[in-house]
């Protein structure tokens, strides 16, 4: 992975998650918190997990090692989650902008939720975060369909065709 690929991955992720937020905002608050099958019990809970995970990984890359989701993760409305994601992306953007290709080889050590220590090159962890959010956006698409909504097309090729 190069720094340009990392930036492209985060650009795609931000674009695709914003598309999903827009689709979810068309629902009522009751629909967003209603049970919908997936890894998480509702649309809001799935978004909270995505945003919380992006926050955790950024903290880890900066030398901290949170072992659990941020306290705010389970208590925010969809619009508050969108603002929190914007805050994470605003903090991550200058962090990524300062990276060089050689920085991507730097091994990041961190503690998992169970307290065990892990270590991986930053490039692999960036790939993980981009993939993780993509996985859960797929679940959001299913949850939106369960609630009678049509999810947006967030294919990477659409992102490329739109010149993002």
Residue 163 confidence class, pLDDT cut points 50, 70, 90: confident
Please state the domain extents for the chain: 3-161
What percent of the chain has pLDDT above 90? 90
Q: Please, what's the b/e burial string for 120-156 (b: 16 or more CB within 10 A of its CB; e: otherwise)? A: eebbebbbebbebbbebbebbbebbeebebebbebee
Inform me whether the pLDDT recorded for 164 exceeds 80. no
Q: Could you tell me the CATH superfamily of domain 3-161? A: dinb family like domain (1.20.120.450)
Average pLDDT score over the chain: 95
What is residue 69's predicted lDDT score, i.e. its pLDDT?
86
What is the C-alpha to C-alpha distance for residues 140 and 44, in angstroms, rounded to an integer?
Answer: 9
> What is the pTM for the complete model shown?
0.95
What is the C-alpha to C-alpha distance for residues 139 and 44, in angstroms, rounded to an integer?
Answer: 12
Q: What is the pLDDT of residues 32-76, one digit of tens each?
A: 999 999 899 999 999 999 999 999 999 999 999 898 888 888 788
Residue holding tokens 């930053």?
Answer: 122
- Name every residue whose Cβ is closer than 8 Å to that of residue 96 and which is 6 or more positions away in sequence: 3, 6, 7, 10
């Amino acid at each position: 992975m190069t720094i340009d690929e990392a930036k492209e991955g985060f650009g795609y992720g931000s674009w695709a998650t914003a598309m999903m937020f827009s689709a979810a905002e068309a629902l009522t608050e009751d629909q967003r918190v209603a049970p919908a099958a997936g890894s998480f019990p509702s649309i809001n809970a799935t978004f909270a997990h995505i945003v919380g995970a992006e926050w955790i990984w950024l903290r880890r890359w900066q030398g901290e090692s949170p072992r659990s989701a941020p306290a705010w993760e389970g208590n925010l409305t969809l619009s508050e989650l969108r603002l929190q994601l914007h805050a994470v992306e605003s903090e991550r953007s200058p962090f990524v902008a300062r990276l060089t290709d050689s920085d991507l080889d730097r091994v990041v050590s961190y503690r998992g939720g169970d307290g065990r220590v892990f270590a991986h090159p930053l490039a692999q962890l960036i790939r993980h975060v981009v993939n993780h959010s993509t996985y859960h956006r797929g679940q959001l698409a299913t949850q939106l369909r369960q609630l009678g909504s049509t999810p947006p097309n967030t294919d990477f090729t659409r992102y490329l065709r739109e010149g993002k």
